[in-house]
Amino acid sequence: MKNRVNIFSNNKGFSLLEIIIVIGLIGIAIGSSSFGLSVIFNGNVNAGASELVNEIRMAQTKQMASSTKTFDVVITHDGDNYYVTTKMLVNATSTVTELKSIKMSNKMSIKKYNDSTSLYEELSSITDPVADTSLKVKTFRFSPSSGKVLSSAHGNYQVSSGISSVVVDFTVVQVNGRVYIEQ
């Protein structure tokens, strides 16, 4: 029994090289995860803004191609999320069809520039004269002949997120009866 060797008796801790390697690996893991998260959050803002702008452009194009239908892009807010819905109204039958609905990412914010206060205001706090319910926040409606915005939707907008520092600006401008969306 005296020949037993205790393998833990000579262990005095970790070497400096081992500690440096572990700290380096932890640093690499933290750095890559934070980079990955920022790419995801920034990508959500860019994708959300692009989807919104594309829906507005598509509704305008469809409106100019059809004189018997009305196409609206309606932005609603339920207290947590924004929804972008493209609707088609067949004028002869007054039938409304929902063509597409997009749920914006959680914590996504859509703001419109207010000329009188020189500030961007959260869209959910602005009353829209075209909206017919309390949930509707902004309605984009276009002229069938020119594509001009018929509602009070023209102006400067910002799409941002509470979890990202990225802000995407776009403008709906009336020029010569057309709407140009600059991003």
The pLDDT score that the predictor gives to residue 175 is 64
- Quick one: three-class SS letters along the chain? CCCCCCCCCCCCCCCHHHHHHHHHHHHHHHHHHHHHHHHHHHHHHHHHHHHHHHHHHHHHHHHHHCCCEEEEEEEEECCCCEEEEEEEEECCCCEEEEEEEEECCCCEEEEEEECCCCEEEEHHHCCCCCCCCCCEEEEEEECCCCCCECCCCCEEEEEEECCCCCEEEEEEEEECCEEEEEC
Give yes or no for a contact between 154 and 161, defined as CB atoms under 8 angstroms apart.
no
Given a cut of 80, whether residue 53 has pLDDT beyond it is yes
Domain membership flag for residue 125: yes
So what's the pLDDT on residue 111? 87
Q: Indicate whether 52 belongs to any domain.
A: yes
Q: What tokens does 13 get?
A: 């801790």
How far CA 46 is from CA of 40, 151, 171, in Å, comes to 10, 25, 15
Report if residue 4 sits inside a domain: no
Average pLDDT, the chain: 77
Q: Is the pLDDT of residue 13 over 80?
A: no
Domain range holding 126? Answer: 16-182
Contacts of 80 (CB under 8 A, 6+ apart): 106
Residue 1 lies inside a defined structural domain of this protein: no
Contact 149, 161 (CB under 8 A): no
Q: Average the pLDDT over 138-146 and give the result.
A: 82
Please state the domain count of the chain.
1
Residue at 11 is within a domain: no
pLDDT tens for 93-135 read 788 889 988 888 777 888 888 888 888 888 776 655 554 555 5
Structural domain includes residue 7: no
Give a yes or no: residue 22 inside a domain.
yes
pTM of the model: 0.68
Domain contains 90: yes
Q: What is the CATH number of the domain that holds 141?
A: 3.55.40
Q: What is the average pLDDT across 147-155?
A: 78
